Amino acid sequence: MLGSMFSGISGLMSNSQAINVVGNNIANVNTIGFKGSRATFSDLLYQSVNGTAGASQVGRGSTLTTVDTQFAQGSFESTSEPTDLAIGGKGFFIVKSPKGNITEYYTRAGQFRFDKDGYLTNPEGLVLQGKAIDQTTGKAVGVDTNIIISQKPSDPKITSAVDMTANLQSNAEWKGSIGNLNVNGDIASVTNTIGKWPIAGEYTAQVTTVGGVSTLTVTAERVGPDGTTKIGAPIVKSKVITAGQSMANFEDLGLDITIAPTITNTTQKFTISGFDVDKPTATANYSSSITVYDSNGQSHVVTVYFRKSNIDISSNNSTWEWMAVVGAGDSATGKNTMAASGDLVFNSSGVLQGEGSNHQILFNFTAPAKQNQPITLSFGSLSSVSGNPKDPMTQYPIDSATNYQAQNGYPPGTLLSVSVDADGIISGHYSNGQIINQYQITLANFGDTVALTKEGSNLFSSNNKTGEAYKYAPGVSGTGKINPNSLEQSNVDLATEFVKMIVAQRGFQANSRVITTSDEVLQELMNLKR
């Protein structure tokens, strides 16, 4: 009879432990990342007894076998914090003490915040682990380390490339002036032909008379936008003339020339001015400005001016001059400075020809910038910023307008916010518009997660049964993805726990009845002596 009482006691103890497990589950129904447990029992050793049919066994009660953690996925709660993280699938966050302790803990609770030193920590002050991202390759490299986001400004990036695309109005007005003509000669006046674009340069006009026939020869030497550099071979045009004659668009030079009443066979010179760096707006048809950055991250404005300079009558190709100018306030010289110039040639359909290739220009900005800063300027179909194809410059009979421009530099920036994506990439968002990937969160997984040791504070630790943690980036080798702005709720189901509690309660009651019944039987046995 005493054996039945000990069996009943074992049942009381087993079911009371089951009630403890249920109570703990219910107590943590609102604990973030909590994983409920399940109590399992086994029967105890059996005692052999002899019966009429032979040997038999009588059980000695029950015992608590295991308390297994159930790692079913909990539902997600949306939050406003970007560093509230939930794992959608398998895996654990890895956290460590910031004080150099090598012990790793694992958790499903993703309540992380930045502390005063910039460490990304849980409420207990343990630091989330991840790999630093190499800023050159953009890949996570090295070993796992404490995730810390520094408050120092992000580094500036010097501008090395500029893309500019615009439409240039094909029928833009001529920008230029004619001067220095000595009127005491065979040419009385020279003016611009309306709707034509005489080239800027130095002109020589010479009249010769042979056998009573006078011929005017005009030689033009094109001068570049700097006002001194001669470009290309001289253009020579000749025509028979008479005294007092007025000629519109002389030999398609874009000049209306009037001959003096008397021909004296003189040689005259005059100039046609083009772009003036000191008066850029007045001497260009269109301009487009872009902000670039020097070696110190300081901003400067570079303006590219465009001036229609010529139409080739034989091919109908149009030539536009471009001039890259740094204003006085941004120039190392303290005055407007033309860093470079060149030509853009368009065919009769307004399509940019070969001169639209990339141009490397050296700029000298105000101190403390490093001088001779190279910037590649692209007007053509290949981007100097990205290296990808893009739309080139065009020349159509509509208003000039900039369609696209870009550059690849930026100033230093202050940290504004942090975001985390599904792959666990932690990025800093800076005031200069840059988003810099800094770390990738590492997740741990185990061959036997059920065997993990609960350490309290939503933490687990490994042991001999679990083995070493397998560590991967989120979404790799069966680990789950990261859900930012979310927290995983407890996976405890109250209805199920209440049923378990009722079952454990009834089991406890039944076992107590075994003890009381055994006690009554023993009492009757004692009464036999009376």
Mean pLDDT for the stretch of residues 194-217: 96
- Out of 12-21, 234-243, 417-426, least confident range: 12-21
pLDDT, tens digit (0-9, with 9 covering 90-100), for 160-175: 999 999 999 999 999 9
Write out the residue limits of the CATH 2.60.98.20 domain(s) in the chain.
Answer: 161-170+276-407
pLDDT, tens digit (0-9, with 9 covering 90-100), for 15-39: 889 899 999 999 999 999 999 999 9
Mean pLDDT for the stretch of residues 99-128: 93
User: Mean pLDDT score of the chain, rounded to an integer?
Assistant: 92
Give me the pLDDT at residue 183, please.
85
pLDDT, tens digit (0-9, with 9 covering 90-100), for 248-271: 999 999 999 999 999 999 999 999
Return the CATH fold of 161-170+276-407: Tick-borne Encephalitis virus Glycoprotein; domain 1 (2.60.98)
Asked if residue 505 lies in contact with residue 106, where contact means CB atoms within 8 angstroms, the answer is: no
Work out the widest C-alpha separation in the chain, in whole angstroms. 173
Mean pLDDT for the stretch of residues 409-422: 96
- Alpha-carbon distances, residue 230 vs 138, 205, 316, 317, 347 (angstroms): 49, 18, 23, 20, 24
Rounded-to-integer distance, Cα 408 and Cα 401, Å: 22
Rounded-to-integer distance, Cα 49 and Cα 488, Å: 54
Asked if residue 187 lies in contact with residue 247, where contact means CB atoms within 8 angstroms, the answer is: no
- The 3-state secondary structure of 41-52 reads EEECCCEEEEEC
Torsion of CA 384, 390, 396, 398, to 10 degrees: -90
Beta bridge partner(s), residue 341: 323
Asked if residue 32 lies in contact with residue 490, where contact means CB atoms within 8 angstroms, the answer is: yes
Rounded-to-integer distance, Cα 506 and Cα 438, Å: 56
Give me the pLDDT at residue 15, please.
85
pLDDT score of 54 more than 70: no
Look at the pTM and tell me if it is higher than 0.85: no
